[in-house]
Amino acid sequence: MPTRHALPLQSYDNARKRHGNTTPATLFDDLPVSAFHRPAQDWGIYMTPAPSLLISGSAWFDGTLLFGPLQLTIGAGKWTCLLGPSGVGKTTLLRLVAGLDAVTRFDGHLNASDDLPLAGRTALMAQSDLLMPWLNVTDNVLLGARLRGKTPDHARAARVLGRVGLSDHTRKTPDALSGGQRQRVALARTLMEDRPIVLLDEPFSALDARTRSQMQDLTVELLSGRTVLMVTHDPAEAARLADTILIMTETGISSFPPPPSPAPRAVDDGETLKTQGQLLALLRQTTQQDESV
């Protein structure tokens, strides 16, 4: 764990200690430590146009094959949904792309099509919200900027928090929020991070149906032009949002045709509902095959 005493938010380490170090250390570890000390103009690399992701290889944990060999391309500026049975390695794949998985060995290549490093160009919204319990909602959303020594953009944070429906909750700490509200704070924080590659791990799973469809629309709007890789268990979500649908199983990754209309698709769009049904049928088959092994 790198020391963080030079970070602009001086109280970060102390607060972590006070709270028993309960917050996962990985929240902003996608930033190389040296990046915290770079002059502002060097941050240009993080604003590059969205590249494709080229992934090829196998992942191993403790000498056991987790998944692979697999080979896939995540389209530049496109929204790719990754589905598959629990435990097949979807989260691991996201964490590997984000450079956050120190325990899994990946034999192969994880590259951007522009040949620039991935480090610092990804934003990951993890399955757990990773909110700092001692910071209020606004400060959680602004934490990334503070850690990088940038002037926090309070006006933008207020706008994004307004868009995710949390304007009335900005001064609350996470313990005073519902699960769905916490997930919206985490979403707001990810949307504040201006990265060309965005990795979302079941970002809408804790939301009620109405809020979920609203947050899906908002996220598509705000991440337009980014390369998005989203893990989801929800065929309806994939059918609404995906430019590309990928199914990950123990035997590899295959693609599934999305509906022809552009995303986000209407929830009652006929082609979208058809794709949702076909996808669910395929996932049921996949799960049954896994269970019969």
Contact residues for ligand ATP, defined by CB under 6 A: 61, 66, 86-92, 103
DSSP 13-41: HHHHHHTTT-S-TTTTTTS-GGGGGS-GG
Q: Which residues make Cβ contacts (< 8 Å) with residue 20, sequence separation at least 6?
A: none
- Cβ 91 to ligand ATP shortest distance, Å: 3
Nearer to ligand ATP, 22 or 151 (CB): 22
Please, which residues bridge with residue 245 across strands?
81, 256
24 or 49: whose CB is closer to ligand ATP?
24
Closest CA to 84 of 246, 271, 204, 196: 246
Please state the length of the chain: 293
* Smaller CB separation from ligand ATP, 173 or 205: 205
- What is the closest distance, in whole angstroms, from the C-beta atom of residue 226 to ligand ATP in the complex? 21
Smallest distance from ligand ATP to CB 206, Å: 14
Nearest to 272 by CA among 250, 230, 239: 239
**Helix or strand (DSSP H, E) at 292:** helix 270-292
Q: Give least dist CB 118 to ligand ATP, A.
A: 18
Q: Which is nearer to ligand ATP, 53 or 88 (CB)?
A: 88
Locus of tokens 């951007």? 112
Nearest distance from C-beta of residue 254 to ligand ATP, angstroms: 15
Tokens matching residue 279:
């996808």
Please tell me the distance from the alpha carbon of residue 266 to that of residue 261, in angstroms, as a whole number.
10
Taking the least distance from each CB to ligand ATP, the nearer of 58 and 173 is 58
CB of 161 to ligand ATP, least distance (A): 27
d(CA 162, CA 144) in angstroms, rounded, equals 19
Q: Which is nearer to ligand ATP, 138 or 202 (CB)?
A: 202
Q: How far is the CB of 247 from ligand ATP (least distance, A)?
A: 12
Reported as type and span, the H/E element at residue 184 is: helix 179-192
103/155 with CB nearer ligand ATP: 103
Furthest-apart CA pair in the chain: how many Å? 56
Minimal distance in Å, beta carbon 290 to ligand ATP? 11
Please identify, using beta-carbon distances, which residue of 26 and 48 lies nearer to ligand ATP.
26
Give the separation between CA 201 and CA 74, rounded to whole angstroms: 15
Beta strands in the chain (DSSP E): 53-61, 64-74, 79-83, 105-112, 122-125, 197-201, 227-231, 244-249, 252-256
